[in-house]
Structure 1
Amino acid sequence: MKSETLNVQQIFQDRRQYCVPFYQRAYVWTQRNQWSALLEDITEKAQARLSGIKPTPHFLGAVVLEPQTKSGLLGVDTLHIIDGQQRLTTLQYILASIRLALRAIDLSDLEMLVLPCLKNTNEATMRNKEVERFKLWPTFRDQSHFIQSLNVDHVDDLRKVFPDSFTLHGTLRKHFNHPPSLEALWFFSHAFIKWISAEGHSLQENAIALIEAVLTDLKLVSISLEAEDDAQIIFETLNGRGAELHATDLIRNYIFMRAEHDNVDAAALYENDWKPFENPYWTEKQRRGRINKPRLEWLIHSTLQAEKQREVDLSRLYNEYRDYVGKESSSRRADQQVELLNRYALQYKELIGGVGTTPIACFGRRIAAYDMTTIYPLALLISVASIPDTEKAAMYNDLVSFVVRRAVCGLTPKNYNNVFMNVLRHLAKTSISSAELRSTLNSLNGEAARWPTDSEFLNACTTARLYPGRLDAQKIRSMLTELEGELRRQVKTEEPVVPNLSSLDIDHLMPQNWFLHWPLEDGHTVTDSDATAVNQIVLAGAELTHEQLLVWKRQQAIATLGNLTLLNLSVNRSVQHSAFLKKRDGLITHTSLRLNIPLIILDKWDEDKIFSRGELLGNAAMRVWSKVD
């Protein structure tokens, strides 16, 4: 490679064009993070010139360039920007802003000092003058706004070109997603107008000092690659430490730099197969715990775990990816890599969206309340396997049963990353089948991994304090929704498919605050303080009186499954702490759920009724979350 230190004028003066490869990310520099500091550096150099002091050069860093074609008599020389596109693009915005500032204060005769660094001249010799007249050609995501901005002749015309970005008073809207080129030109041009107009020197002296500061005092190290240089290795060396780029940026560059080596049409591969990964769905950041990453990064992380059958270090995602496609999988070609990601992306999108009727979409919908991303690689491995959908559905049913049963039985999810990875690894080595998965889950033992039996699960459904208790609101709502579906399957209902019940309230039929309207079975009324005293006696291990036992029995029953249902929010609020007959009247008028219909024929609701309903729902739960030994 060849390295030389050049100022801005030397970088841009020849008849050449710096092209940002189409697969690189968009322009991301901002006023807060980069522009303000750079403006300060420029005006500092300009002020030194006005003061008669020879300024020391200000280094902007390095740019790595890969020469593509020599123009000859027609066209312009083109160079790909391997690294440094943010710097070079910003310099173009600065030069364009100087031109706008000069025109705004009637010094347009000086714009010829910067114009040769903004536009390639002699358009008659260009093959495509609409493109080649620009010194820099951005990636496709930035092209339209870049062209619009650099074609503006007066700063006020920016309002006409980007009307949605401005208020009625002509100022930039706050909290608005402006095109970066507009924000850059608006920021720099107004800052330059203000600086040139400052008193102490003439407008012309200020303008020339500013132009010279940009063209000659700002310097870059220009590194030009030669035929034997590996552009990807150099790109990794500069960016692979994770300081600026996402792992997905490095992965994308790796794929498309490799495409040429694999004799793959990179442009067609990008346009036809990779481009969907650039849309907001995949670039949107998703939080898992304290980690916030683009959704595409989470997809690749899950894909690699499914393919490698082991844990993958998220902080080394790019290196893990490169090792897999370059070494562990017999060196996949660029098109094979994108094909692999697309195959998993389709399944991943259905998994986390939970919309649709495919086995993995149904699984995602059923497991969503448990926020269990550690199961994703296993779910994806099953989904991409060449097995019938009926087999996939059976496997997902067992996984949901495993998770729900353990949650209802109060068993910890803390070891799930190891549990599901071990199951994944076993299936990958043996066979991906429902029989093999069921055998594996049944073989797990210990509190951190075992699959609860029918008797343990039924007992938990009838006697355990679930809400509040072992399950949060999302989980108990999900459980009640699935039980509603099972109850509908047992009768000839007019509406066999359960509608969306996510907006309904979770209701305790016997309310948690039962003291005013719900006397004990012996007729006595109890206060909140009486119930608190009973709890303290139990904690102390002392014996309870008969009446205290009744209080304790009631307190234990209220949070069990048999006492829980779903209600319209307004209905629930209107009868929240009321006596049962008033609640029943509300159900008669407003409910259509099979969870509630059997209740409307009852005259009372007590602990025995709660236990009976718990058994009924528990037996339904064993059908929904079945376990075959």
Structure 2
Amino acid sequence: MKAGEKNIESIIEGKKQYIIPLFQRSYVWEKEHWQMLWDDLIELYYSKGNHFLGSFVTTPVVENTEKGPRKFLLIDGQQRLTTIFILLVILRDKAKEKNNKIKEEIDQTYLFNPFLEDEDRYKLLLTDLQGDKECFMHLLENQEIKYKNNLLFKAFNFFKKRFSEEDYDVRPFEKIITNNLQIVHVELNDDEDPYKIFESLNAKGEELSQADLIRNYFFMKINMEKNKKNEFYQQRWKPMQLKLEGNLSEYFRHFLMRTGKVVKKNEVYSTLKKLNDRSTPQEIRNYLEESIKFSNYYEELLFPTKRKNRKKDITDRITGLNEIECTAAYPFLLNVYHDYEEKHITEKEFIEILNLLENFLIRRSVCDKTTRYLGAFFPSVYDRAQKEHDFISGVTKQFLQQQEYPNDHEFKESFVNKQLYNNTAIKKVRFILKKLELFENKEPVDLENSKAITIEHVMPQKLTDGWEKHLGKKCHDIHEKWGNTIGNLTLSGNNSKLSQSEFYQKQKILADSPLKLNKYFINLNKWDEDMIIQRGRSLAEIALKIWPDFRI
């Protein structure tokens, strides 16, 4: 290892390429970081001097080629160097308008390796996480950007706007960036492990996500040559990361918890590390492969409609569990899903378990039972149920041992009287109404593919003069007590027409609806407190059939 003070020009010039290693995260700098750097640059522009940008840590990439550039992994300094390149791209584009010579100098000295081809042309090569690699190349090549929400593109627009606010000279600004920004360049020997260096550096730096730390840990521990690690990353890790769409940290938490342990959100990495630290490289590889396998189940829990060849009954039930927000049950569901895929349980048994879980969650939710302890409860359900003679009976037993499983009387009373509807429970209420609509319905409407069908308040959320007159003197008491209860809620595809309409207008539209739920309104000529309670009780009787008491 050797270290020395350098400027940006000295580390970029020449036939070189800096590669962001696969264990690094994507570009994450945002406006606060860009503004701080911009403020420092403006101070240098007007007062001269130097600015220390911190340390850059690199390690050489050994390749059997004489034609390509000297390649280095950038272990530390990714966010800063990437942002500097974005600034140089903007200066290049700005120079093109006035001085093509400066434009060519910036291109050939700082952005590209002249006379080289393909990816060897680029002085900086990003990872393809979050579309960073493609977005960055398009900025370099002055091509249209597909990833409008990518932080690289946002950074480009931020600095471009700052440059447009005043007529800054390109050459002085270029010299400030390349000569006046000082760094300490730490060059590792090629036999030093970059993964271990990265881990030790980031123990002191800006906090990484649990998924970032886990990714680095796995690639530090598995015994592969560098090119094989890159291949494994592209073929195995990257597809898992992309398909889970930002849920990777939470996935590993639930993957760990499926064994019965409770893992806090900020302890996922430390738990996984402790579990695997004494494992051999092959055991680590096996563990990683198992986690990739279970990630397929997790993807189907998160995005149940993605898989087209699965039985509709299963897709519908998993979709429903998503709508009632059952993430606490994911450790349990990962194990059950694995048993189903491995044919340890039948399709019928799998559906029965999903039904039991839905029943358990809906009855508790309607009766306002606390969810605080479910995160600690679900991880152990699977193992305890496995100890019973019959697994499904064991699951039922576990759910009933939660002392807060409501009986029929409590469930019915809450179903009628609870203010079910609020801004945080819209998906759950729509799910309940959908289940009521589909129960014993011989001509069901396709509710899954009809986004236009939404929740409608029969007595509107905001009373009009007409509704106040319709409800009488106690209108505001009635509205406050019953407005968001199940008896006053239905589904409709005509919400824009219904909205604040008076009941006689709503009654006609609802009566013409193809939905079974709305046939209730055909012969009604008023809608008051008694009618809301009466309909609520009618729907509660149906709910008792959909979600019957386990004990009966």
Aligned residue for 1:20?
20
Matching residue's letter, 1:594: K
CA contact (8 A) 1:3 1:221 kept: yes
Aligned residue for 2:168?
194
Which secondary structure does the structure 1 equivalent of 2:59 belong to? strand
Distance of aligned partners of 1:187 and 1:254 in 2 relative to their CA distance in 1, 3 Å threshold: farther
Aligned residue for 1:267?
230
Which secondary structure does the structure 2 equivalent of 1:627 belong to? coil
Q: Decide which of 384, 398, 401 is 2:338's aligned counterpart.
A: 384
Distance of aligned partners of 1:233 and 1:505 in 2 relative to their CA distance in 1, 3 Å threshold: same
Q: Deviations over 1:518-562 (max 9, x none)?
A: 7xxxxxxx6228x96xx9xxxxxxxxxxxxxxxxxx999998766
Aligned residue for 2:298?
348
The structural deviation recorded for 1:508 is 6.1
Which secondary structure does the structure 2 equivalent of 1:108 belong to? helix
- Correspondence 1:314 to 2:265: yes
Mapping of residues 229-378 of structure 1, within 5 Å? 229-240=192-203, 243-261=206-224, 265-277=228-240, 279=242, 282-283=244-245, 294-306=246-258, 308-326=259-277, 332-334=283-285, 336-337=287-288, 339-353=289-303, 355=305, 357=311, 361-378=315-332
Q: Decide which of 49, 60, 66 is 2:59's aligned counterpart.
A: 66
- Correspondence 1:507 to 2:495: no
Aligned residue for 2:127?
139
Distance of aligned partners of 1:241 and 1:365 in 2 relative to their CA distance in 1, 3 Å threshold: farther
Q: Decide which of 409, 412, 421 is 2:370's aligned counterpart.
A: 412
Distance of aligned partners of 1:467 and 1:46 in 2 relative to their CA distance in 1, 3 Å threshold: closer
Aligned residue for 1:548?
none
Which secondary structure does the structure 2 equivalent of 1:374 belong to? helix
**Separation in 1, partners of 2:164, 2:6:** 27
Matching residue's letter, 1:253: N
Distance of aligned partners of 1:211 and 1:372 in 2 relative to their CA distance in 1, 3 Å threshold: closer
Which secondary structure does the structure 2 equivalent of 1:487 belong to? coil
Q: Deviations over 1:347-397 (max 9, x none)?
A: 334434453756664334323454343233323332223422222211121
CA contact (8 A) 1:477 1:506 kept: no
CA contact (8 A) 2:328 2:374 kept: yes
Aligned residue for 1:289?
none
Aligned residue for 1:569?
495
**Separation in 2, partners of 1:335, 1:318:** 18
Mapping of residues 127-206 of structure 1, within 5 Å? 129-140=117-128, 141-150=131-140, 158=142, 161-162=143-144, 179=153, 183=157, 186=160, 194-195=168-169
CA contact (8 A) 1:508 1:559 kept: no
**Separation in 1, partners of 2:24, 2:480:** 61
Query: For the pair shown, which has the larger CA radius of gyration, 1 or 2?
Result: 1
The structural deviation recorded for 1:425 is 5.3
Mapping of residues 439-478 of structure 1, within 5 Å? 439-445=397-403, 450-458=404-412, 460-461=414-415, 464-467=416-419, 474-478=427-431
**Separation in 2, partners of 1:47, 1:508:** 65
The unaligned stretches of length 5 or more in structure 1 are 50-54, 152-157, 166-172, 197-206, 284-293, 519-525, 536-553
CA contact (8 A) 2:4 2:184 kept: yes
Q: Decide which of 325, 349, 359 is 1:401's aligned counterpart.
A: 359
Distance of aligned partners of 1:34 and 1:426 in 2 relative to their CA distance in 1, 3 Å threshold: same
RMSD of the alignment, in Å? 4.7
Distance of aligned partners of 1:485 and 1:246 in 2 relative to their CA distance in 1, 3 Å threshold: same
Aligned residue for 1:479?
432
The structural deviation recorded for 1:69 is 1.5
**Separation in 2, partners of 1:472, 1:558:** 15
Aligned residue for 1:625?
547
**Separation in 2, partners of 1:559, 1:147:** 52
**Structure 1 range deviating more: 598-607 or 355-364:** 598-607
Which secondary structure does the structure 2 equivalent of 1:59 belong to? strand
Matching residue's letter, 2:514: S
Mapping of residues 534-545 of structure 1, within 5 Å? none
TM-score (norm 1): 0.69
The structural deviation recorded for 1:571 is 6.9
**Separation in 2, partners of 1:395, 1:212:** 67
Aligned residue for 1:78?
71
Distance of aligned partners of 1:426 and 1:133 in 2 relative to their CA distance in 1, 3 Å threshold: same
CA contact (8 A) 1:359 1:396 kept: no
The structural deviation recorded for 1:325 is 4.6
Matching residue's letter, 2:253: H
Aligned residue for 1:549?
none
The structural deviation recorded for 1:43 is 5.6
Which secondary structure does the structure 1 equivalent of 2:543 belong to? helix
Q: Deviations over 1:220-263 (max 9, x none)?
A: 22222235533222212222467254332333333344455489
Which secondary structure does the structure 2 equivalent of 1:265 belong to? helix
Matching residue's letter, 1:480: L
**Separation in 1, partners of 2:99, 2:506:** 80
**Separation in 2, partners of 1:258, 1:192:** 51
Matching residue's letter, 1:235: F
Matching residue's letter, 1:295: N
Matching residue's letter, 2:381: V
**Separation in 1, partners of 2:509, 2:94:** 71
Distance of aligned partners of 1:360 and 1:43 in 2 relative to their CA distance in 1, 3 Å threshold: same
The unaligned stretches of length 5 or more in structure 2 are none
Which secondary structure does the structure 1 equivalent of 2:21 belong to? coil
Distance of aligned partners of 1:607 and 1:75 in 2 relative to their CA distance in 1, 3 Å threshold: closer
Which secondary structure does the structure 2 equivalent of 1:480 belong to? helix
Q: Decide which of 69, 81, 91 is 1:88's aligned counterpart.
A: 81
Which secondary structure does the structure 2 equivalent of 1:333 belong to? helix
CA contact (8 A) 1:401 1:626 kept: yes
- Correspondence 1:226 to 2:200: no
Distance of aligned partners of 1:439 and 1:259 in 2 relative to their CA distance in 1, 3 Å threshold: same
Which secondary structure does the structure 2 equivalent of 1:79 belong to? strand
Q: Identity of counterpart residues, as a percentage? A: 25
The structural deviation recorded for 1:14 is 4.6
**Separation in 2, partners of 1:271, 1:305:** 27
**Structure 1 range deviating more: 63-72 or 351-360:** 351-360
The structural deviation recorded for 1:193 is 6.5
CA contact (8 A) 2:27 2:152 kept: no
Distance of aligned partners of 1:565 and 1:86 in 2 relative to their CA distance in 1, 3 Å threshold: closer
The structural deviation recorded for 1:482 is 0.9
Distance of aligned partners of 1:572 and 1:22 in 2 relative to their CA distance in 1, 3 Å threshold: same
**Separation in 1, partners of 2:182, 2:347:** 61
**Separation in 1, partners of 2:499, 2:154:** 49
Matching residue's letter, 1:33: E
CA contact (8 A) 1:262 1:334 kept: no
